[in-house]
Amino acid sequence: GAPGRAGSGDALIEIAIRPHPVYRREGDNLIMDLPVSVPDAVLGGKVRVPTLGSAVELSIQAAEGLGAAHRAGIVHRDVKPANFLLTGDGKLKVADLGMAKHQASSAVELTQTGVIMGTPAYMAPEQARALPAGKRADIFALGVIVYRALTGAPPFSGDTNVEILFRVSHAMPVRPSDLAKLPEAVDEVLAIALAKDPNDRFETAAKLSAALDAATRGRIDPALSAHARGVLAALPWGASGAPAR
């Protein structure tokens, strides 16, 4: 069935179940690990998240994994639920660096520039326009995952990839708290994570996870709240992005 809502106890985060390697950096070496078996609670490639707290905990783990990659100078560029693996002890690991780019060295860039690459529903606006994508593109994608995990609905959807990419670039989704029982502070955190301008997003995945953790308890830094209001003043929740006639 369709994903439910975190507020109603039926949110889903999709996790790929496959023998896929997980990469980590140790010094100058990139180490490949194979994930251990997933627990019995994982069925049909999906993890059922019964509470808002559980959804947030997995989202924070995803942010921590991305943060580790970013600190190693790696931009993933294809962040989506299927590229996180769940280990036997319930931990998420970032997987599939096939589109990754090392920010400090073109020698380890694995994909082309000037070409649209990624998964449309999780791509950042700059990726949709085939512009250079840094770590804040990954943070945008993480915002998409968190939005979907907490509301049960994708923020950007459409009948074709072109329609999805248009909405990613120009539209804002429905206010999260209109879809699930969420504090207003969560709306503001997601507004920043999903900002169209990379410079308006969280600087690091760690800052996103810290803000999200506090927001679920109804708390948000006043400066972040003001910043979110500024982002939403330019493009409010539910804005279609269609040109005026």
The residues annotated as belonging to the active site are: 78
Q: Which two tokens stand for residue 174?
A: 């429905």
CA proximity to 180, closest of 148, 202, 220, 135? 148
Query: In this structure, are residues 167 and 241 in contact, taking their beta carbons and an 8 Å threshold?
Result: yes
Rounded to an integer, what distance in angstroms lies between the CA atom of residue 40 and that of residue 163? 37
| Max Cα-Cα span within the chain | 56
Query: In this structure, are residues 197 and 137 in contact, taking their beta carbons and an 8 Å threshold?
Result: no
Q: Which two tokens stand for residue 167?
A: 């909405």
Rounded to an integer, what distance in angstroms lies between the CA atom of residue 181 and that of residue 5? 8
Q: What is the DSSP string of 162-193?
A: HHHHHHHHH-----GGGTS---HHHHHHHHHH
Query: In this structure, are residues 118 and 105 in contact, taking their beta carbons and an 8 Å threshold?
Result: no
Count of residues for the chain? 245
Backbone torsions φ then ψ of 208, nearest 5 degrees: -65, -45
CA proximity to 12, closest of 174, 189, 147, 137? 147
The SS3 assignment for 113 reads: coil
